[in-house]
Structure 1
């Protein structure tokens, strides 16, 4: 089969593949290096709170990542020894108390759309959590696929502390699946902080790292994901989320279809050929 038969139509590529390395972030730091994209929440003097603008930009960026052919994994971190203190009290909470129901619903739907965008982008997301991780910051960590914390990290779903329900941005659906119903209820009803070591025992964190090594550990994990079969990893992420709403029988059939699709990818052939040659496979994501 010649190249003419195997090449992808340029018009199809133009509509479905857009490199993300050239993106210029406005409300946080953004870097793409060797397949790993890094989002750094960068307001360290306020412990990296979110604003209306940063919520919207993060939502739109994660939506765009489904088209990014140069990003295979994402790291989300905070600057200055903290992850994220949640919604900015002065720039979000203050204005919210003056809004009417339609505008409030507009806001809560926007914040929920950030979680949807994180779940729907095909790249695995690694949250590197140090220090304060509160409110919406805790949600961003929760919505990531993998979490590395530190012993000094404090994760608090503190909506209860400001007179709101714990059911924010998908917390009542996702948090119990990560740490269990009883433990999730305790955090959502009380708003207390979950320490790093306790968070690792409960399964919220995959593992802990020393604060000075956290960024390196997160990047190392992300690079391991980049070296894997990125197309298949995207399928795994999709199925992990979609199967929440399936019966076991439906999930088995969905996984049969998904796995058959992955068997059509060249990475499956590369893995076999590498095994035969007693070499480590070099995956290319196709």
Structure 2
């Protein structure tokens, strides 16, 4: 996929940066702590559509420009017309979240500063979330008198259990990166100065892995809580059959016998 300019002076609401097989989607409204407005939501949807068509992408990173990951939805959009504003925001955001979940490429959220509202909801859709140890989180919707969106009600109970999910959602209280890690909302909290390096290390590892198998694994895991065992076993068998046709499985087996690291190509 093509990349947008990464110059901080650009007015683009989303920066797309490519490094080999790794694509970084950087929310870019730093003056508003990256609060998502309609142009940003549409840009994220368009980027997700492009990613869905690009088999050469093997890892996706979500991050924010400036001082935070994302402070939630743009309240000016909702203040002008709550009903239409919500629809204009949620339609592209929901499509983006759906497309990102369907990718073969794993998705990492790199969180610094604040992740609130829609920012936290988007983070929850990632396969891995790494956060600066001084990051702050708040689902926050209830403080505005509304329910949550962008899949938060789907992800939270799966990650932390129903009781903790209700606490996070209904009390609207801020919590820290160590708490988020303890509750299972993030993969790891790291010193802020080490966040970039930690994310890049994980992204490089995932980008060199068996991408088709990753895709099946992430979709199987997401579907497992809504299927009975027989249905899940059938889905697993179909996914394994697809992987059995892949060059990566053959490479993995040969590498095992040769006692060397596998050189997966994502095929």
State the alpha-carbon separation in 2 of the partners of residues 116 and 150 from structure 1. Answer: 26
Q: 1:255 aligns with which of 233, 236, 251?
A: 236
Aligned to 1:270, the other structure's residue is in SS state helix
Give runs of aligned pairs for residues 109-258 of structure 1, distance below 5 A. 109-166=91-148, 168-258=149-239
Q: Which residue is 2:14 aligned to?
A: 28
For the pair shown, the structure with the greater C-alpha radius of gyration is 1
Q: 2:245 aligns with which of 242, 255, 264?
A: 264
Greater shift in the superposed pair: 115-124 or 32-41: 115-124
Q: CA shift at 1:106, angstroms? A: 4.9
State the alpha-carbon separation in 2 of the partners of residues 267 and 170 from structure 1. Answer: 32
Q: Which residue is 2:32 aligned to?
A: 46
Q: CA shift at 1:110, angstroms? A: 3.1
Aligned to 1:55, the other structure's residue is in SS state helix
Greater shift in the superposed pair: 238-247 or 267-276: 238-247
Aligned to 1:128, the other structure's residue is in SS state strand
Q: Deviations over 1:73-120 (max 9, x none)?
A: 011111223111111222x222233x56xx744543333222212212
Q: Which residue is 2:8 aligned to?
A: none
State the alpha-carbon separation in 2 of the partners of residues 230 and 111 from structure 1. Answer: 25
Q: Which residue is 1:62 aligned to?
A: 48
Note closer, same or farther for the CA distance 1:52–1:216 as it changes in structure 2 (3 Å cut).
same
Q: Which residue is 1:77 aligned to?
A: 63
Q: Which residue is 2:81 aligned to?
A: 96
Aligned partners of 1:32 and 1:71 also within 8 Å: no
Q: CA shift at 1:177, angstroms? A: 0.2
Alignment TM-score, normalising by the size of structure 1: 0.86
Total equivalences in the alignment: 261
Aligned partners of 1:130 and 1:152 also within 8 Å: yes
> Structure 2: 5+ residue runs without aligned partners?
6-11
Q: Deviations over 1:164-184 (max 9, x none)?
A: 023x22222211101111111
- How much is the aligned-residue C-alpha RMSD, in angstroms? 1.7
Aligned partners of 2:94 and 2:150 also within 8 Å: yes
Aligned partners of 2:44 and 2:93 also within 8 Å: no
> Structure 1: 5+ residue runs without aligned partners?
1-19
Q: CA shift at 1:249, angstroms? A: 1.9
